[in-house]
Amino acid sequence: MFKLVLLDIDGTLIHSAGAGSEAFCKVLEFGFQKEPHALREKSFAGRTDSSLLSEVFEEYEIPDIEANRKKFWEIYPHFLHHYMPRFPGERLDGAEQFLQAFYRWNPRPVMGLLTGNIRLGAEIKLRHFGMWSYFEMGAFGNEHALRTELSSLAKSKAERLLGEELRGDQILVVGDTPSDIQAAKHIDARCLAVCSGEYSQTMLEDHSPDWTVQRLSEVYPTPLEFNGY
């Protein structure tokens, strides 16, 4: 039975409808005096904020130094907070019921985030939809540029919280991109892929997740359903 459940945010729990990428653009515009036209076309799916920022700094010829990163991440949350209510984002179908279901498990698994968002970005997005309080820990995009490293980090944080080592089959990772599936495999965790983001079922199944669903409303996770895990 799962002792740790790790969820991705964008495309899995919520759609922020471009509020995050608009906030990225505004930081470039107002913090760094750049015209971020090309950035509006970039896909953020499955990416970590740290790796996106390295790429953006390179594209806009901004020195990738600590002072610029610090400046970027100080301004970004203000714009994100501003844009979240102004973009037509949504809580994804069944996401909240899916989270609530684990709160009925006895013993309840640790509920964590495994996301490319910086911690404050994750908090702003999930608070906007009333879902931040479901999570007691997480690994975030400000902690590493690689999602595979974030899954190892999330596992070790949860182990500290639980006071025991976890086997891969005691961990469930839920996400909407091939990067989420790879992050799950990196720690030998089980992976539920959900097609509510930019990737189709066929594209996700190419990466061999353990289960694939169109939306989280199709699953009501019970310990019985995951018997043997």
CA distance 214 to 219: 10
Among 138, 176, 191, 204, binds Mg ion (CB under 5 A): 176
Q: Give phi and psi for 180, each to the nearest 5.
A: -65, -40
Single residue of 3, 5, 7, 11 touching Mg ion by CB under 5 A:
11
Site for Mg ion, residues 150 to 169, rule: CB under 5 A = none
Return d(Cα 29, Cα 40) in angstroms, integer. 12
Does 8 help bind Mg ion (rule: CB under 5 A)? yes
- The residues facing 4 across adjacent strands are 110, 171
Contact 2, 170 (CB under 8 A): yes
Taking the least distance from each CB to Mg ion, the nearer of 10 and 22 is: 10
Q: Which is nearer to Mg ion, 9 or 111 (CB)?
A: 9
Q: Which residue in 2, 3, 6, 10 binds Mg ion (CB under 5 A)?
A: 10
Alpha helix segments (H runs only) across 92-172 = 95-102, 119-128, 147-162
State how far the Cα of 140 lies from the Cα of 122, in Å rounded to an integer.
Answer: 8
- Residue 112 binding Mg ion, by CB under 5 A: no
Nearest approach, Cβ of 71 to Mg ion (angstroms)? 26
| H-helix or E-strand spanning residue 190 | strand 190-194
Piece of the chain touching Mg ion by CB under 5 A; list 4-12, 89-97, 165-173, 206-214: 4-12
Q: Is 123 in the site for Mg ion (CB under 5 A)?
A: no
**Which residue in the shown chain puts its C-beta closest to Mg ion?**
11
Q: Is 61 left (phi over 0), alpha (psi -120 to 50) or beta?
A: left
Taking the complex as a whole, the smallest distance from the CB of residue 61 to Mg ion amounts, in Å, to 29
| Tokens matching residue 104 | 């009925």
Closest distance of CB 115 from Mg ion, Å: 8
Interface with Mg ion (CB under 5 A), residue total 4
- What are the residues binding Mg ion (CB under 5 A)? 8, 10-11, 176
